[in-house]
Amino acid sequence: MKKCIKCGLPETYETIEFDDSGVCNICQQHHFKTESIDWVKRKTMLNDLVEEYRGKHDYDCLVPFSGGKDSTYTLYYLVKEFKLKPLVVQFNHGFMRPNLLKNNERTFKKLGVDVISFTPNWKVVKCLMREALIRKGDFCWHCHTGIFAYPMHLAIKFNIPLVFWGEPSSEYTAYYDYRDDEIEVVDESRFNRFVNLGITADDMRGMIDKDFDLDPRDLIPYSYPPLRDLKKLRYRSVCLGSFIPWDVKSQSQLIMDELGWKGDEVEGMPPDLYPYEKIECAMQGVRDYLKFLKRGYSRVTQMTAIDIRNGRIKKSEADELIREWEGKKPRSLELFLEFLDISESEFNDIVKRLVIPPYEPKFQTIQWGKKTSDFDLWYREDK
């Protein structure tokens, strides 16, 4: 496969393009961010935005919260820097790990915030995972749509127009461009553009209706609220990272020091290097494994690419890590197959249809990865 000569991202990476010298568009975009954005001006814009909404409703803002490093930092920043009173909304995807739950409790108590946690019907979740896996090779539809749509329902219910998300998507892909000097808006068009994989809740209803006794209301948490309700609210839904430079490493360190937030090991990732990444979900290993089977790289490549751009590691060190960690079969796959009631060969058959050329997965040579230390505590269904 063709790879960026600077950061190593391969041609199967979403939205990637290469210039004549073999450097990718994401590397070029990064260069723009560090050189040309007027962060002082952006901070002033943030101050103005916050002051516009302060004290006018029951809450100053709503913060969708997963408990990962980005939403934890966002919440920390808004409470400490601006003394805002947020409503924290947590969409529980069903796979929260023990360490994450402890982190969350500590964060909420230390910051002193009101929290609403919502957990959707597990039977519906399993059904949605299965359908999204078969259709798109991406079982996280329920989680991504729920995380982005559900808080908007609560924003309407509680009449909270200002919604703060964490990192902007320009940090990872070129769907949105820092160059536009525009604030990335987290709205329905963004939702349809790359959150819901082109499948709306309505589509999903039609797809799963035949083999699942679905109540149409079961899918409300996954659908964007009606436009008229959002318009009435006159909402502003933005990423904090559009206003302040987003630096994952230093922010993670800060929440560790200030909130006692703890990282965790994640299947398929070097534990010492990225203990703060994607610790929210017990199925992360399966997600990364799927990406590897479809595209020939996984998150080690993605993370080291960011570090290379930031001058934190050498390309040769990254290559070494990728060789050691990438492409192992996660132990969580066993649980995943059990939840979805499919066999591994059925899983592989689904994946085969979705591989992005020129990559070709070699199923027969793949080895099992190690259990994480909390693996035996993860939810299992009785056989």
Q: Does 306 bind Zn ion (CB under 5 A)?
A: no
Q: Contact region for Zn ion (CB under 5 A) — 27-35, 178-186, 278-286, 348-356?
A: 27-35
Query: Which tokens belong to 149?
Result: 């749509």
Least separation in angstroms between residue 299's CB and Zn ion is: 16
Question: Among residues 65 and 178, whose Cβ is nearest to Zn ion?
Answer: 178
Which run of H or of E encompasses 135? helix 122-136
Q: Among 163, 185, 195, which Cα is nearest to 88's?
A: 163
Torsion from C-alpha of 216, 218, 221, 222, nearest 10 degrees:
-70
Give the one residue of 3, 6, 97, 294 binding Zn ion; rule: CB under 5 A: 6
Q: Contact region for Zn ion (CB under 5 A) — 4-12, 193-201, 240-248, 341-349?
A: 4-12
Secondary structure (3-state) at 114: strand
Q: Contact region for Zn ion (CB under 5 A) — 16-24, 42-50, 122-130, 269-277?
A: 16-24
Give the one residue of 4, 50, 111, 140 binding Zn ion; rule: CB under 5 A: 4
Query: Which tokens belong to 28?
Result: 């070029």
CA distance linking residue 333 with residue 283, whole number of Å = 8
Least separation in angstroms between residue 27's CB and Zn ion is: 3
Q: Contact region for Zn ion (CB under 5 A) — 26-34, 197-205, 310-318, 349-357?
A: 26-34
Question: Among residues 30 and 130, whose Cβ is nearest to Zn ion?
Answer: 30
Question: Among residues 264 and 307, whose Cβ is nearest to Zn ion?
Answer: 307
Phi-psi bin for 181: left (phi > 0), alpha (psi -120 to 50), beta?
Answer: left
Q: Contact region for Zn ion (CB under 5 A) — 22-30, 129-137, 138-146, 225-233?
A: 22-30
Q: Does 30 bind Zn ion (CB under 5 A)?
A: no
Q: Contact region for Zn ion (CB under 5 A) — 18-26, 155-163, 227-235, 296-304?
A: 18-26
294-322 core/surface letters (b: 16 or more CB in 10 A; e: else): bbbbbbbbbbbbbbbbeeebeeeebeebb
* Residue sitting closest to Zn ion (CB): 4
Q: Among 342, 162, 310, 159, which Cα is nearest to 240's?
A: 162
HSE toward the beta carbon, residue 108, CA cutoff 13 A: 18
Binding mask 356-375 for Zn ion (x = CB under 5 A): --------------------
Least separation in angstroms between residue 300's CB and Zn ion is: 15
Contact 54, 83 (CB under 8 A): no
Question: Among residues 30 and 142, whose Cβ is nearest to Zn ion?
Answer: 30
| CB-CB neighbours of 334 under 10 Å | 15
Give the one residue of 13, 24, 230, 297 binding Zn ion; rule: CB under 5 A: 24
CA distance linking residue 292 with residue 366, whole number of Å = 11
Query: Which tokens belong to 24?
Result: 């990718």
Give the one residue of 10, 12, 27, 233 binding Zn ion; rule: CB under 5 A: 27
Question: Among residues 28 and 92, whose Cβ is nearest to Zn ion?
Answer: 28
Question: Among residues 27 and 162, whose Cβ is nearest to Zn ion?
Answer: 27
Sheet holding 61-64, edge to edge: 114-118, 86-91, 61-64, 162-165, 236-239
Q: Does 7 bind Zn ion (CB under 5 A)?
A: yes
Question: Among residues 32 and 122, whose Cβ is nearest to Zn ion?
Answer: 32
Interaction with Zn ion in 75-104: which residues (CB under 5 A)?
Answer: none
Least separation in angstroms between residue 337's CB and Zn ion is: 35
Distances from the Cα of 257 to the Cαs of 6, 70, 73, 254, in angstroms?
Answer: 33, 15, 12, 5
Give the residues lining the site for Zn ion (CB under 5 A): 4, 6-7, 24, 27
